[in-house]
Amino acid sequence: MTTKQLLLGDEAFALGALHAGLSGGYAYPGTPSTEILEFIQQHPLTKERGIHSRWSSNEKTAMEEALGMSFCGKRALVAMKHVGLNVAADPYVNSAFTGVNGGLLVTVADDPSMHSSQNEQDSRFYADFAIMPLLEPSTQQEAYDMARYGFELSERVGTPVTFRFVTRLSHSRGTVETAVEASEQRPLTYPEKTRQWVLMPGNSRVRYKELLADHERMVEESEKSPFNSYIPGDDKSLGIVVSGIASNYLNELFPQGCPFPVVKISQYPMPEKMLARLADETGGNILVIEEGQPFIEQRLRGYLNRGLNVCGKLTGHLNRTGELTPDSVAACLVQLRPELAGSLKVDVNPASQIVVPRPPALCQGCGHRDVYHALNDVLAEHDNAKVFGDIGCYTLGWLKPFNAIDTVVDMGASITMAKGAADAGQHPAVAIIGDSTFTHSGMTGLLDAINEDSPVTIIISDNLTTGMTGGQDSQGTGKIEQICIGLGADPAHVRTIDSHPRTHEEMKALLREEISHKGLSVVVARRECIQTARRHASAKAKEQAAKA
């Protein structure tokens, strides 16, 4: 029996995993992956079965926790955004060596066009060098169906399976036909092969050879995968390789079927035989349409490019940066085959000349605003102050009207870069970091700064939540000062203040004092996120109304 639902790609995948007997979901929030664990948290099965669904401190801890659950024979998933995989890279790459016991899905949501990210990296490269299969759903239905398939594949090949989502699937709703009942969870069991779970050189040397041999099996799996297909076409002057979300755009342009033969790839390693057939049948004239970086294209083309005639992003037929659209795919096809212009070109309204950009901004009533107002006033008293920023809503402090920060690189880098700058002789060196980012990746850097009593001022702008991703629980709430003091910060220089317009002068005085201190200071500026505060107030009002 099945039922139809309207689900985001993220939600469809989460439901598929729940229906496949999931025992634990692990994640740190990150756009566009956040809704995977949120869906699991809210699903009745989670409570009923005691499925793990709490947020982890960062992607590395999440990955390791999921691997630990897999070691015990249960099905687990870990979800993160693309740059989260950089944080989790150590356990991720090594998890191909340990292998799995219960099926393990590592779900990574890439963000081409950088809707809410600092770069466009493509997770397929990671799965390739880690040597594990990767699944790349193109539709919400595939996202649902592939979750179960992915667990089975993981258990069959003995490694985790990586899932690559992109923003346009994660955050797009579609009609999904789902099962109505969930499979049983797996019992507690232990791995039969025990040596590969201890990655000492002697064990890893043996395991690496096995893994390389397993790669052949992974390719075999891809050849017969229900998610890879060779679709014949009459016009053999061109062959098209299309992957993931890009196949939707190709299908949109040819509702009656593509005139050219197509290999659709949604499971990696790439299906060699299918691709060889396409090359043979088309005289080696191949167009690759893939979202993200030119992963397939580079491989088909080869470094010397002396074999096939491959075009795509590297040849400028498709945009190298930013996401694909049905329009960019149409333009590419018309460039290659001008005779398609009649059916693919559309008459378009000119863009309005009066419309101006509307960049995002910190909310009115947000405490980060008060921090920047006070900080800017104090730093105006210095000639060469540098402020090292971090990842979160407060990154918007770079924009007008604040123009308050000089760097933003990755989670936690504010503290460590401020320390490095102080090491170089920079003063004032100020770091600004949010509470959730601090517990994600700031604590270890703080320890470095504490151990050298570096003359930096670290502002932890604590809004008691993970704000940018929509207000998920933050792991350090209620213990930020304790963490700093526990790491060894001098309690006299761990100061706390409310972030509020009424504390403006007080905050200025406090910042002035700590910036002039010749050692490490932490200033915890605190006020609940205005969005979660509103939500909490309305929930409370509802509760009281229910009581009355």
Partner 1 sequence: MKADIVLAGVGGQGILSIATVLGKAALEAGLYIKQAEVHGMSQRGGDVQSCLRISSEPIASDLIRNGCADLIVSLEPMEALRYLPLLRRDGWIVTGTTPVVNIDNYPEMEEVTASLTAFGNTVAADFDTVAKEVASPRSANMALLGAASRFIDGITPEEIEHAIAGIFASKGEAIIESNIKAFRAGLALATETANRVSAN
Can residue 172 be called a binding residue for partner 1 (CB under 8 A)? yes
Smallest distance, Å, CB 399 to partner 1?
10
Indicate which single residue of 132, 240, 396, 404 sits in contact with partner 1 (rule: CB under 8 A). 396
- In the 8-state DSSP scheme, what is residue 425? T
The whole-angstrom separation of Cα 205 and Cα 203 is: 6
Using CB under 8 A as the binding rule, whether residue 403 contacts partner 1 is answered as: no
| Contacts with 101 (C-beta within 8 Å, 6 or more apart), sequence order | 70, 71, 72, 73, 189, 190, 191
**Measured between alpha carbons, how far is residue 297 from residues 27, 310, 349 in Å?**
31, 7, 34
Q: How far is the CB of 186 from partner 1 (least distance, A)?
A: 33
How many chain residues interact with partner 1 (CB under 8 A)? 51
Please state, in angstroms and rounded to a whole number, the distance separating the CA atoms of residues 451 and 489: 9
Q: Which is nearer to partner 1, 35 or 221 (CB)?
A: 35
How far is 520 from 124, CA to CA, in rounded Å? 41
Among 2, 194, 256, 352, binds partner 1 (CB under 8 A): 352
Nearer to partner 1, 346 or 492 (CB): 346
Among 57, 204, 298, 325, binds partner 1 (CB under 8 A): 325
Query: Which of 173, 195, 209, 273: binder of partner 1 (CB under 8 A)?
Result: 173
**Minimum distance of partner 1 from residue 327's CB (angstroms):** 5
319 touches partner 1 by CB under 8 A: no
393 touches partner 1 (CB under 8 A): yes
Compute the least distance from the CB of residue 168 to partner 1, in Å: 5
Q: Dihedral through CA 296, CA 300, CA 302, CA 308, nearest 10?
A: -150
Residues near 530 by Cβ (< 8 Å), separated by ≥ 6? 363, 364, 365, 366, 367
Query: What string of H, E and C letters represents the secondary structure of 208-271?
Result: HHHHHHHHHHHHHHHHCCCCCEEECCCCCCCEEEEECCHHHHHHHHCCCCCCCCEEEECEECCC
Helix axes 59-71, 89-98, angle to 10 degrees: 20
Q: Which of 6, 198, 537, 539 binds partner 1 (CB under 8 A)?
A: 6
Work out the number of other CB atoms within 10 angstroms of the CB of residue 422: 22
Q: Are 96 and 67 in contact (CB under 8 A)?
A: no
Q: Is 174 in the site for partner 1 (CB under 8 A)?
A: yes
Question: How long, in residues, is the chain?
Answer: 548
Chosen residue from 1, 180, 354, 380 binding partner 1 by CB under 8 A: 354
Give 284's DSSP letter. Answer: T
Residues between 24 and 63 that touch partner 1 (CB under 8 A): 31-32, 34-35
Q: Is residue 330 within the footprint of partner 1 (CB under 8 A)? A: yes
Q: Which stretch binds partner 1 (CB under 8 A): 177-185, 230-238, 292-300, 353-361?
A: 353-361
Per-residue contact string for residues 238-257; x = within reach of partner 1 by CB under 8 A: -------x--xx-xx--x--
Closest CA to 447 of 394, 502, 485, 480: 485
Query: Rule CB under 8 A: which of 98-157 touch partner 1?
Result: 115-116
Taking CB under 8 A as the rule, does residue 326 contact partner 1?
yes
**Does the footprint of partner 1 cover residue 169 (CB under 8 A)?**
yes
| Piece of 279-287, 467-475, 476-484, 505-513 that binds partner 1 (CB under 8 A) | 467-475
DSSP symbols for 383-418 = SS-EEE--SSGGGGGGSTTT---SB--STTHHHHHH
- Site for partner 1, rule CB under 8 A: 4-6, 8, 31-32, 34-35, 115-116, 167-169, 171-175, 245, 248-249, 251-252, 255, 325-327, 330, 346-352, 354-363, 393, 396, 400, 468-470
